Chain A
Amino acid sequence: MQVEVASIVKQMMSAGERWESALDAHALAPPDAGFPVRLRALSIAAGEQAAAFELAAQGGLGWRSRAIDGEFSLAPELTPGRTRPGPPELWKRFDAATAALATALAGSSPKGLAESFTELSEVSGLLASDLQRTYRAATRVAG
């Protein structure tokens, strides 16, 4: 399969922009009703990263491993030990996906990164759906 260098760059840049915006939204946010929306954005952004790294892997590109110092976390409100609304089993899966992403970042495989972003996308999407249902129900009761 032929993959144009330009298409990889373009997809990586686009995915990176959305991904970092999603991280910023989590990092700067107070605990509020926007939490499920931020998780949904994270899920979409992680999905785009997965597609971009899949393309990079198909294009034969490599990954220069990154040093992960200490505990890796995507954002304070997503860190274990914080008050995180939603099913604990999903958060456990989310934490495992985050740890797998850290391992992939420290590794050398774009394919591994694609897989870890895919899992992160799936589980954050499930959390977003669950929380959106909960928040909607709470709004109806309050209303």
Chain B
Amino acid sequence: VERALDLAVAAWLEPGELADVRCSGDREQQLVDLSAGSAFPSGGRRGRSWDRRREPVDGRIRQSEVDRMLGEQASNRPTAPSGGPRPPAAEPARDLISSLITDPEGSRDAG
């Protein structure tokens, strides 16, 4: 039923539109179309990094799947080759994914 609702809403929306859908109790779900220029609605908290509470559907991978992948990547992350502390060089060029933001327009507005 949940899947059918997802598909029904996906068919109803124009490409790029975002929608909040309530189904299966209070569980909030969202459609995400990155071609709209932003992964998430501008009405939410702005300028944040990956927001794991959001759940893109539209028959594609859900945010929980993204959570799972991030968790796996974090647990499998290798340590420095010597087993000691990471070398300090190029620190600003590391962990780049943490600086990606989903609402660049909102971030600029807030700044």
B100: A residues at CB distance < 8 A: 8, 12, 56, 61-64, 110
Q: Does A23 contact B (CB under 8 A)?
A: yes
Chain A interface helix/strand/loop/mixed: helix
Interface window among B1-9, B19-27, B29-37: B29-37
Residues of B near A1 (CB, < 8 A) are 34-35
Check: A10 CB closer than 8 A to any chain B CB. Answer: yes
Contact check, B89 vs A74: say whether CB atoms are below 8 A apart: yes
Find the B residue at minimum CB distance from A11.
B97
Counting chain B CB atoms within 10 Å of each CB, the highest count among A12, A73, A76 belongs to A12
Enumerate chain A residues within 8 angstroms of B94, measured Cβ to Cβ: 16, 19-20, 23
- Tell me which residues from 70 to 106 in chain B have a Cβ below 8 Å from any Cβ of chain A: 70, 73, 77-78, 80-82, 86-87, 89-90, 92-97, 99-105
The residue among B56, B103, B104 with the most chain A CB atoms within 10 A of its own CB is B104
Q: Once the chains bind, are A6 and B66 in contact (CB under 8 Å)?
A: yes
Knowing A17-B77, A61-B101, A62-B100 are in contact, say whether A3-B70 is a contact too (CB < 8 A): no
Query: CB-CB < 8 A to A73: which residues of B?
Result: 89-90
We find that the number of chain B residues with CB closer than 8 angstroms to chain A is: 45
Enumerate A1-25 residues with CB–CB distance to B below 8 Å. Answer: 1-10, 12-13, 16-17, 19-21, 23-25
A to B CB contacts below 8 Å, 22 in the list? A2-B34, A4-B56, A4-B61, A9-B50, A9-B70, A12-B97, A13-B97, A17-B73, A24-B86, A25-B81, A27-B87, A27-B90, A58-B34, A60-B38, A61-B100, A63-B99, A63-B101, A72-B92, A74-B89, A74-B93, A75-B87, A108-B104
The 10 tightest CB contacts between A and B, nearest first, are: A62-B104, A27-B87, A59-B34, A6-B61, A60-B37, A12-B97, A62-B101, A3-B34, A27-B89, A13-B73
- Which residues of B are at the interface with A, using a C-beta cutoff of 8 A? 15, 32-39, 47, 49-50, 56, 60-61, 63, 65-66, 69-70, 73, 77-78, 80-82, 86-87, 89-90, 92-97, 99-105, 107-108
